[in-house]
A and B are shown apart, each in its own frame.
Chain A
Amino acid sequence: MTQSPTLSRRSSSSASPQPRKSRRRGADARAGYTFLLPWLLGFIALTVGPMISSLYLSFTNYNLFEAPKWIGLDNYTTLLQDERFLQSVGVTLNYVIFGTPLKLAAALAIAMLLNSKRKGQGFYRSAFYAPSLIGASVSIAIVWKAMFGDSGPVDQGLSFFGINLGGWVGNPSMTMPMMILLTVWQFGAPMVIFLAGLKQIPADLYEAASMDGAGPVRKFLNITWPMLSPVIFFNLLMETIHAFQIFASAYIISNGEGGPAGSTLFYTLYLYLRGFSDFRMGYASAMAWLLVVVVGIITLIFFKTSKSWVHYSGDSK
């Protein structure tokens, strides 16, 4: 999906000077689009089409059974007065703001450990990546629920140290830390990307810095961080967007209810309940579009601020 703009740019920008070459370029583009066609058809039928219809539905009172009736902005204005909606926004923001940086920090820390030359690194890399392979699955959420339940391993382990929290699952103030731990534990995907980024930083930079007497902190701040900043930026963006979409684990851990006391009522879970339990598809569509817009705005803000801290090779700063 990353190919289409590159292709179109090439075919349009370099068309004028030499007609013969442009004909060949035109044929190239045609071939390109032909290869693209299967994906493009799927994209239009399965993504763009449903999106447009969901945009339309968000202005209706569609309830799955009866023909949708246009109600203008009603869904959007109701949203702002819906206390459970506001609660779900709070829960989700909490999760994004605390969960994402922690996860990235864990991913970067492990990636740096795995970047050094040591025996058996291949094994460690696979071992640390493993949680991410199974992490998004239903079974892990079930295991998590059992681990953090009353007299589960976590409860027992903590009481060994004299900390008696009881089960986390039933305690509204402990469910968020539990959910954040679950996402932090799945640091594998950003870790692999960090690792790839770290490998590309030329070793002579570190050598030169050592020569100048720079310690590890200094090296991290002045070499690793700026050299890695595009990768950090990429991971931050992807993980933030991911975090906004958390659904499956919350659904399973709370039995699909968002409890206890609404503490795991994540945005998408509430959206799902509104749509599929309460049959308010119009309302759910409005929620979905609000999420798209908000995620879009946050992405935009990220891009704007990135200029001041993300460094690309070839940039003058």
Chain B
Amino acid sequence: MFDRRKFLTTVALGTASAAFLSACGQSSSAGQTGSAENPVTINYTWWGNDDRAERTRKAIALFESKNPDVKVNGNFTDFAGYWQKRATEAAGGGLPDVMQWDLSYLRDYGQRNQLLDLSTVKINTDAFDKSLLPSGQIRGKTYGIPTSTNAFAVYYDPAKLQSMGVAEPDGQWTYKEFNAFMLEVGQKGNGALYGGTDYTGVWWMYNIWLRQNNIQAFTDDGKLGFTKDDLKKWWNTTAELRGTPALVPEERVTQLAPKSAMGSNVTASEVTWDNFMAGYLGDSGAKELKLVPVPSDDPDNLGLFLKPSMLMVASAKTKYKDAAARFIDFMVNDPEVGQIFKTSRGVPASKTQRDGTTFEGTDKLVVDYEKSIEKYLKDAPEPPIVGFGTLEASFKRVSSELNYGKLTLDGAADAWFKEAEDLIKQNA
């Protein structure tokens, strides 16, 4: 029925080619359109949801009406896919002309000459707080201009607290008090509502805790500035809460992803960046959410800082430096752009843009929060080390495994340190 020789040849070849496929990667290219008549076209890409896409489209239309010689071709994806796409583009030498950027990846691309030094083009930074600009600079070169700032905060839902008879926090609390608050919410929430998520899994909250203890996260020569014991101590902060109703179980967090537990009305509080307000309100449908400062055991040192919530960068290889610079300048300084985005990118970093924007309702809450913590603010962090995006992701992952009970405290600290040290050695 089956001739052996023919059959085996077919199978062997099929097998071989199937196996070969596993060895090949992906390639991609970015369309670079030249100037057909007068107007040049620049490519702009950003991450975000539909809401941001709509606002960005409006901003682009405004820019094009003011700059008839430039057309902007916009494109967006979600955050995780965004970086994988940039990596392939960078490898192929085809990064878009202008890009929205995150502090975590500034060194990866800036230090490797993928980004344009923006001090060589005309962008007005007079209206920026001088302590903020260094976070876009590496070794004397300016790779990114902050569009806006955000700060860490504890969100809570006042309506949910009231219905359970839990007092609203005033934001002057120690970790112990914060934990007690979450436990009270969880116990009264009766399985339907948890106190919050395990905040020790969030890298930036750890960074703040380190600052509260006067420890630098990274040394100036790009090494870890803290010890394994520091990390263990941090992860131990919520040890007694794990498995209690204070914290939403990790199973739930995984299933809700990419939505947050707070946005899904599963928790009454959440520790994260203040510009998530609009997203949380939209996801949860809550009437109101409030912001208070993060806990600290030292009431005079909250470890808080303003971080550029996002930066604008240009590709080092862009053919349209002038058009790119004008677009960046417009996006960070123009008051009308501020009106379009409000606080959905964070609080506008440029004073011109900030003053030209009217903040109402929830947008006002975010702006007021950043004003209220002004006296506690310290310098913005330097761009983190090369490969920071990986470290941040593995921080979250290892802490999640700790919550699943797959790792012990020692095992988790060992695992993260091994990965971090390996990565630092790799990029040295």
Contacts and interface: CB of A to CB of B under 8 A. Distances in A.
A61 B426 contact: yes
B17 interface: yes
Given A66-B112, A260-B250, A312-B7, A241 B20 contact: no
A262 B84 CA distance: 20
B255 interface: yes
Chain B: interface residue count, which band?
35 or more
Contact of A256 (B20, B80, B112): B80
Contacts of A245: 18, 21-22
Contacts of B255: 149-150, 167, 169-170
B251 A171 contact: yes
Nearest to A267: B22
A115 interface: no
A263 to B, nearest CB: 9
B251 A261 contact: no
B24 A51 contact: yes
A63 B427 CA distance: 9
Contacts of A275: 25
Interface residues on A, range: 35 or more
A312 B4 CA distance: 6
B19 A260 contact: no
A54 B426 CA distance: 19
A299 B81 CA distance: 34
B1 A200 contact: yes
B90 A255 contact: no
Interface string A288-317: 110110011001000100000000111100
A283 B257 CA distance: 29
Interface stretch (B156-164, B345-353, B400-408): B400-408
Nearest to B254: A170
A238 to B, nearest CB: 7
A277 B391 CA distance: 11
B253 A170 contact: yes
Interface in B109-141: 109, 112-114
Contact of A170 (B88, B113, B252): B252
A255 B13 contact: no
Interface string A53-65: 0100000010111
Given A2-B10, A275-B25, A277-B389, A172 B18 contact: no
A29 interface: no
B97 interface: no
Interface string B361-399: 000000000000000000000000001011001000100
A64 B28 CA distance: 13
A259 B416 CA distance: 16
A255 B80 contact: yes
Nearest to A272: B84
A227 interface: yes
Contacts of A129: none
Given A64-B91, A170-B254, A260-B404, A227 B1 contact: yes
Given A149-B255, A230-B2, A172 B404 contact: yes
Interface string A214-252: 000000000000010011011001100110110000000
B11 interface: yes
Nearest to A57: B25
A127 B20 CA distance: 32
B14 interface: yes
Contact of A230 (B7, B91, B393): B7
A210 interface: no
B251 A268 contact: no
A276 B8 CA distance: 37
B15 A237 contact: yes
Which has the most chain A C-beta neighbours within 10 Å: B88, B254, B401? B254
A247 to B, nearest CB: 9
A230 B22 CA distance: 25
A292 B406 contact: no
Contact of A50 (B13, B25, B87, B112): B25
A58 B14 CA distance: 25
B173 interface: no
Contacts of A51: 20, 23-24
Nearest to B24: A50
B15 A166 contact: no
Given A64-B87, A170-B255, A242-B18, 9 more contacts: A47-B20, A65-B109, A170-B253, A257-B393, A268-B22, A276-B88, A279-B87, A281-B91, A289-B23
15 contacts: A2-B10, A51-B20, A51-B24, A54-B23, A150-B255, A237-B11, A241-B19, A244-B22, A260-B250, A260-B400, A261-B400, A277-B83, A288-B23, A292-B23, A313-B3
Interface of A: 1-2, 5-6, 46-47, 50-51, 54, 61, 63-66, 78, 83, 149-150, 166-167, 169-172, 200-201, 227, 230-231, 233-234, 237-238, 241-242, 244-245, 255-257, 259-262, 268, 275-281, 284-285, 288-289, 291-292, 295-296, 299, 303, 312-315
